[in-house]
Amino acid sequence: MDELISRITDSVGIDADVARKAVGMILGFLQKEGPNDKISEMLAAMPGAQDLIDNAPEVGGGMFGGGVMGLGSALMGLGLGMGEISGVSKQTVDFAKEKAGDGPVDNVIAAIPGLSQFV
């Protein structure tokens, strides 16, 4: 996962610690909201992903409730703006596709209402 964090710090311009928390929150959200068999396949192809999830701040409902909007609210709570959230999300999805393949990642994204418009 160090490779992903490095990509994010280079392309998005955020601190590595914030990047780790953001990726952990995103992957944790996918793990919670996605279909178990598909997300398990995706995470298994990404060594270190579960560690990031386990050490990420919890994503609560926040003022925007749960779902994708709740995740966005939680990421803003890290100090990220919309452009940075988009950059972290796209880098995370691209990395997941490199490691797990398009199929499992696309299936996870398609199974979560509203997520496809953000990645």
Domain span including residue 78? 2-105
Provide block-wise average pLDDT over 10 residues at a time, the chain (119 residues).
97 97 95 88 95 88 65 93 95 96 92 80
Asked if residue 115 belongs to a domain, the reply is no
Asked if residue 60 belongs to a domain, the reply is yes
Helix, strand or coil, per DSSP, at residue 63 = coil
Among the residues of the chain, which ranges form H helices? 2-12, 16-33, 36-44, 49-54, 67-76, 82-100, 102-111
Asked if residue 36 belongs to a domain, the reply is yes
Q: How many domains does the chain have?
A: 1
Q: What does the pLDDT read at residue 69?
A: 83
Asked if residue 45 belongs to a domain, the reply is yes
